[in-house]
Amino acid sequence: MTQDPRSKKLAFISLGAMLVLVAGSAWFYKEKALFTDTAYVLFNIINNGQLAIQFNRYGALIAQGVPYLGQMLHMPLKTMLIMYAAWPYLCYSIVAGVLILRYRQYNLAILMALFYVLFVSQSFYWGSEIPQGMAFLFLMMGTALHMGNRNVGLWKIAVPFVFCGVVAMFTHFTIMVAGVYLWVYLLLDKGSWPFTRQRTILLSILLLACIASKFVYSLVIAKGTGDGPFLKNVFTCSIRDIYHMFSTPVVRTFLYRCITVYWVGTIVFLSGMIRLFQRRKYILATWTMLSVLGYMCVVSLTFTEWGETASVFHIESEWLCMSVLLITPFAFDFLRAAKGGYLLLLLPLIFIARFVYIYQAVAPFETHLQMQARALGSMKQKGIRKVAIVWTATFSKPYVADWAAQYETMLSSALDGDSPQYNYCVVREEDTLRIKALKPAAFAMAFTTPAPLQLNRQYFRMDTVQDWKVMTYEELTEK
């Protein structure tokens, strides 16, 4: 692939932006590590000494390897939390560095960096596997293009191609859409494609095989769990469902946020599309528009009821892969065709604008930590080790998410040096009698019946004498 020398400078600017995300992750480690899924996974890895891969989402290995090795090496808990929060973005930066320094795939590195910021706000603080899986997709594409340019033997290309492809596709079904789109886009863009017709066909078959393996696993082997129910909705849709996709809450909310929050990304998308039409690349423009509409259709079918009431951090992550579709024309056509040195100023401004929105998005997670600290502080003052907080609307709304409170508080209390730890869970009113009947040694585990839990005593100790107390958050925190 012929590279514009200016693209190299832009790629290094993009790598710098990735390193800013690493620093931000380390700075906000509590907001990231002591929240819902991340806390649940982190606690179980440290306590059980085993990886906690959910639904064969192998991309999560990027993050989970840190606490797994950390507990084996008896690392301090705070060190593990900081590394767990920052390590994924450090890995993404390493992949971007490989794309730049080794593969010289500058535009792909720019696309990768923009993916991690343009349509991101609250999801930066949540432990979604999608960004982790996308790192494998970018590595797969970069490795294939680099080896293709060097005319490496097909089977040497196939091994890393299939490995990264399977990991990426299994991590989340939306990555399949991004992978197919990017593969076809680069194929249609003659200046970016290094493969012969025969190699193109064979590698395309391998990519489809990676995708097929995901479908077989989700719909046949593990049906009813993980991505299976979501994928099933796509195959059972009707023409009417597709026609009404723009009226679904999840699509309406996303379009609204494209104006109010992701407006920089919207401008990037429009700039790329305009450039395609100016250069008469109508096939690429058509492929991009059809892919965007197809992705919106898939999301509207799989998350029909989501929207205004859905957690922003969660639903935003489901839209992340569509940003590849929206950014690619800008990264591969606009940046190449634009004249003048203004791009060296424009790209940093794009990153800075998005950093501001990502920083502002931390507010709900800070509130979550503040409410958590207030509850734990009241428990210490009152000498209460275990509490079941009764769910109320006034508590739930600012708290954001409560299903993993028992894991968050065990980690938070251990981080403060408490032994045994102070711990609370959140229950509904109808569950209060069950909680009152629990034995003192029971741990209120998520997704299963509360029971005594064998703890890794190097990090965790639980009070086994006091009975569980049941009260509202207001009752707990009142002086």
Residue where a domain stops, chosen among 337, 360, 383: 360
**Shared domain check, 337 and 316:** yes
Q: Assess contact for 296 and 245: CB atoms under 8 A.
A: yes
Residues 261-281 have a mean pLDDT of: 96
Burial (CB count <10 Å: 0-12, 13-18, 19+), residue 138? buried
Residues 382 and 355 in one domain: no
Give 187-237 pLDDT, tens digit per residue: 998 777 999 999 999 999 999 999 999 888 877 776 655 565 556 566 666
For range 158-176, the mean pLDDT: 93
CA triple 259-264-266, angle to 5 deg: 60
Distance CA 261, CA 69 (A): 38
**Residues 362-366, mean pLDDT to the nearest whole number:** 96
Choice between 381 and 243, residue whose per-residue pLDDT is larger: 381
Instruction: Tell whether the model's pLDDT for residue 429 goes beyond 50.
Output: yes
User: Residue 3: pLDDT above 90?
Assistant: no
pLDDT digits (tens, 9 = 90+) for 334-348: 988 777 778 899 999
How confident is residue 439, by pLDDT bands cut at 50, 70 and 90? confident
User: Given 310, 341, 360, which residue is the final one in a domain?
Assistant: 360
| pLDDT, tens digit (0-9, with 9 covering 90-100), for 140-153 | 999 999 999 999 99
Based on the number of CB atoms within 10 Å of its own CB, is 214 exposed (0-12), middle (13-18) or buried (19 or more)?
buried
The residue with greater pLDDT, 407 or 228, is 407
What is the pLDDT confidence band of residue 432, given thresholds at 50, 70 and 90? confident
Query: Which residue range(s) make up the domain with 440?
Result: 363-477
Q: What pLDDT shows up at residue 165?
A: 95
Q: Supply the DSSP symbol for 153.
A: -
161 with 173, same domain: the answer is yes
Q: Tell me the whole-structure pTM to 2 decimals.
A: 0.92
Distances (CA, A) of 377 to 36, 114, 383, 463: 20, 41, 10, 17
Which residue carries 């275990």 as its tokens? 386
Q: In this structure, are 46 and 129 located in the same domain?
A: yes
For 390, phi then psi, to 5°, come to -75, 130
End-to-end CA distance of the chain: 68
Task: Say if residue 254 is in the same domain as residue 310.
Answer: yes
- Is residue 285 pLDDT above 90, yes or no? yes
> How far apart (Å, rounded) are the C-alpha atoms in residues 231 and 222?
12
Cα gap 194→2, rounded to integer Å: 10
How much is the average pLDDT of 164-179?
93
Give the residue-averaged pLDDT of 399-410: 92
Please check whether residues 212 and 323 belong to one and the same domain.
yes
Same domain as 384, residue 275: no
Question: Other CB atoms closer than 10 Å to residue 10's CB: what's the count?
Answer: 22
pLDDT reported for residue 1: 46
- Range with lowest mean pLDDT among 27-31, 50-54, 229-233: 229-233
Q: Which helix (H) or strand (E) holds 387?
A: strand 386-390
Tell which wins on pLDDT, 328 or 434. 328
Number of domains comprising the chain = 2
Both 292 and 404 in a single domain? no
163 and 44 both lie in a single domain: yes
Q: Which one of 326, 360, 394 terminates a domain?
A: 360
Is the pLDDT at 446 greater than 60? The verdict is yes
68 and 123 housed in the same domain: yes
Are 381 and 338 found together in one domain?
A: no
- Strand pairing of 386-390 and 469-472? parallel
DSSP 341: T
User: Kind of pairing, strands 442-443 and 451-452?
Assistant: antiparallel
User: Greater confidence, 111 or 443?
Assistant: 111
Do residues 325 and 376 both lie within one domain? no
The tokens for 318 are 């489901």
